[in-house]
Structure 1
Amino acid sequence: MMKGLKKWRLFSMLAALMFFLAACGQEQISTLTPRGPVASEQFNLLLLSTAIMTLVIIVVVVIYVLALIKFRRSKVGEDTIPEQVEGNVKLEIIWTIVPIILLIILAVPTVWLTYTQAEVSGMDEVDAEGNKTALTVNVTAKLYWWEFEYPDLGIITAQELVVPTGEKVYFNLKAADVKHSFWIPSIGGKLDTNVENVNKFYLQFDKESEGLKDGVFYGKCAELCGPSHALMDFKVKTLSREDFDAWTAAALEEPVAPSSDLAVQGEELFVNAGCIGCHATSAAGTAGGQGPNVATFGDRNRVAGYLEHDAENLQNWIQNPQEYKPGNLMPSAADLNGGDDFTQDELDALTEYLMGLTIENK
């Protein structure tokens, strides 16, 4: 009776596991639904390695089961010792040559893809006028947020990467504090960001993100980096080249003046409280800010990278960021406001101002 119960427990656990893993197929975040050539090549390599491992497992299991059946005690007797094959030249050649062949089948495409996907010479190619022909993005990972600099365009953003579809996008990856890892599961990766050196690679985005859940692909930090590692998310918005050029032109324009008296109060508070010392409000600037650039804050779909993008979460985050992302460097409201939390009126003003910082509506 107890053995039967244990089997049902195992079955129930596996059924529950399948239920939760079913969400892994969402195309905005799943390696199993590649949405770019880099991810597709990596996925095909995953299928190849899985097929080889499955073949080896099947062969071993079949031999094991046949040996159990053929040489079971009830058939050969209690005192019978099967013929020993130790030193059998043919068998030793077979189980030496076959693994070597399987390793070669797996190693050749692995090595070829490793070097092919690390080829970044296109990053430096220029046209007849000396302009770069490919888009390059400098990615800086910080505790616990991401900065994206477009060095050839003069644009700085944070937390949301915007790229064109149908072309290679090159990345320079580095970290400002500790080791992180840049990963967009549906598009390809991942690659470490280090403090002491710059890693380079490229990705290609084949599908516009507009039709996806939340309208973005999801990016993650894939290297344990501190207490808020699991919350170090970013989003990727993919646009047609025409829409990307329009986004670029809008990003280089001067920030739009606050459109309401409440937003004006928020801007004044943003400056007087010292927020402007860490957070730039223009996408046209220089990299290296202590806090994320908020020029595109109104366009984002998340607060702090993972909270729903609404007034309540923004105000909670401003009051006590350590409660939502332990270990991050943003001071609490009391630290900025002489020991007191912001009043509700002040929070409403800051919210109105920050939500109005947008590029898409210019």
Structure 2
Amino acid sequence: MDPLEGETTSASVEYEPVSVKDVLVEMKDTAELLIDLSYSAVLHRSEELATEVLRLEERMDVLELRARMSLLMAARKPADAEQLAPVLGIVGAADGISDAAGDIAKIVLEDMGLPEAMRAALPEAAGTLVRGVVDPNSPYTGRTLKDIDLESETGVRAIALRRGTDWLLNPGPNTRVEADDVALLRGPDSSIGDVYETLTGESYEAPTVEAPDIDDLERAVDTIIHMKDFSELAVDLAYSSVLFDSEELAEEVRNLEVEVDAMQSRFEAWTLRAAADASDPVVLRGLIQLGNSTERISDSAIEISEGVLRDIDVHPVVQLAVQESDEIITRVVVDPDSDLDDTAVTAGVPDADSMMSVIAIRRPGEGWLLVADADAELRGGDVLISKGTRTAAADFRELATA
């Protein structure tokens, strides 16, 4: 049965004046949420999460059409067309990420199968993300996120709410949690279960994974996890390259895309070798689709940074959109003797009182260090590209200042 049966899946879209900046913000936030949701759906074998992916993918299609209509109306002379062409590329890239996420979700919805070796590796790679329906009797019902103070108290963050067919992708302090809202929560394993139970009134069952059943898949699984990390990093750096109009960052995006292509080649080779030893090679179908979809995400990153690579002036509306999205990207310089000076960074997480994640470090005289899966120690003078909430970003700047 169609998971969206009974819902409108091809509503007509007519031109209406909209803020291109607001549409770009929603597209960026939606694309990033889709990546998280799709991998979490695979981890949990959750048809509910996978169906939310398809709902968001449908929403993305509408956003893409509205953005293209508005951009076409805005181009009145050749100079406009030159500045807006990269914006069209960014719109197409967000939709490409959405399509790739939809294909990942279909691994679950179409029961393609995925070896346990893959699911065993996903929790660390995907993090913990759960979907819950707000119970009318929950202590959170009718209260704002500021009043609940969920993130500060538990480390769990409401990354999105769905109210009927309406999505709230950037729930802020004044967002009120209502009964029957569909909430998407992300947080540490130690507390997300308790928050889920308080929110929904239902017991939380963490995903259980059996021991890997195909030893020969270990290299293929390791490779695809690296592909996922590198693809997400490429998207983050691509938006950073636009925000800071940085050709250096755009070149790093290109380097990452080349690396992901090479990884996919190795992944396919290992998967084919593993098929010879698998009792049922059909179980590898989902793994192959996961690899192809992950590689397409890195391709989309190139589209985002294309204007910077070709030395085309980035339209100001794009930079505003990147600055105002849900999880913002910031650039800070570490002052000598600040709280971040000599701080260790492990897999992107600084050993400091901060919820920001360090994406990349530019060290004077040494160039860029990508820290998705590498350890580092921050030094005075380092330029940090980081990602997190607005509140966390403000605190992070204070830590970097002597």
TM-score class, shorter-chain normalisation, is under 0.3
TM-score with structure 2 setting the length: 0.22
Task: Determine which structure has more spread, i.e. the larger CA radius of gyration.
Answer: 1
TM-score with structure 1 setting the length: 0.24
Give 1 or 2: higher helix fraction: 2
Give 1 or 2: higher strand fraction: 1
